[in-house]
Amino acid sequence: MKSVIILGASGNIAKQVIDILVRKDDITLTLFLRNARRLRNNNVSQCRIVEGNVLDFNQLKEAITGQDIVYANLAGDLEAMAKNIVKAMDETGVKKLIFISSIGIYDVPLKPVLKPYRKAADVIELSDLEYTILRPTWFTNADEVDYETTRKGEPEKGSVISQKSLATLITKIIEFPENYIRENLGVNKPNS
Ligand SMILES: NC(=O)c1ccc[n+]([C@@H]2O[C@H](COP(=O)([O-])OP(=O)(O)OC[C@H]3O[C@@H](n4cnc5c(N)ncnc54)[C@H](OP(=O)(O)O)[C@@H]3O)[C@@H](O)[C@H]2O)c1
């Protein structure tokens, strides 16, 4: 069995990832979110649900203890969140982190709205964790799985990505966490 915690489990992409992961017998899911009533999945009876705030270090550390994989699907003060996540993972010996950032965080000049996304990526890259940072393009609701990735340092491609594609990629990394270790990937729909 593999233990996976989703931070920000009420988020849009998290919802789709949960829908895929609850069907997998070898995964134990913990859903960490500020308010359990905001959870929109109706198939989570087998999941452990923890109400907590990522900015509350003690709550976070307790929830992360014993997990194999942390998947962070967050918004807000991402730098402070990333610092807490890295510290909690270091102190509990959890290595694998999947963190959703954004397209454009290495652009010069950096758009102010993207500063927290960039700072969070910087914090994570300075850690010893087995992280995978994802930098998706703009989300669509298209019912399709069609994506490609670019590595850090390569020009980002495309302008859109379906939420379903991003959720599929995240699920694959959770299934095969030995892939994309210490990678920082752009994710886009080809030719978009
Ligand atoms: N939309 C796009 O086109 C696009 C493109 C590229 C990247 N992104 C980024 O990709 C990420 C994932 O997207 P998404 O649409 O799934 O995001 P989302 O729906 O906004 O989900 C973010 C989640 O973070 C949670 N959260 C915020 N502060 C928290 C805290 N202190 N403790 C615990 N949870 C907290 C929120 O929970 P609450 O329910 O408690 O508020 C929310 O469920 C976001 O950072 C988004 O900005 C989006």
Question: What residues contact 98, with CB distance under 8 A and at least 6 apart?
Answer: 69, 70, 71, 72, 131, 132, 134, 170, 173, 174
- The alpha carbon of 10 and the centre of ligand 1 are apart by a number of angstroms equal to 8
**Which of these, 35, 57, 44, 53, lies nearest to 17 by C-alpha position?**
44
Name the strand (E) or helix (H) holding 15: helix 12-21
pLDDT at position 138? 98
Q: Is 138 in the pocket of ligand 1 (CB under 6 A)?
A: yes
Written as six digits, the tokens of 139 are 């989300």
Q: Residue 55: what residue type?
A: L
| pLDDT for res 86 | 99
Residue 57 pLDDT: 98
Residue bearing the CA closest to ligand 1, atom 14: 12
Q: In 3-state terms, what secondary structure has residue 149?
A: strand
- Ordered per-residue pLDDT tens for the chain, 192 residues: 999 999 999 999 999 999 999 999 999 999 999 999 999 998 999 999 999 999 999 999 999 999 999 999 999 999 999 999 999 999 999 999 999 999 999 999 999 999 999 999 999 999 999 999 999 999 999 999 999 999 999 999 999 999 999 999 999 999 999 999 999 999 999 999
pTM: 0.98
What pLDDT is attached to residue 5? 98
Q: Cα dist. 155→36, 91, 104, 135, 162 in Å?
A: 39, 35, 10, 12, 20
Distance in angstroms (rounded) separating the CA atoms of residues 36 and 57: 19
Most ligand 1 atoms within 8 A of CB, residue of 100, 169, 188 to mutate: 100
Distance 3 CA to ligand 1 centre (A): 22
> Can you give the pLDDT at residue 42?
87
Q: Whose CA is nearest to atom 19 of ligand 1?
A: 11
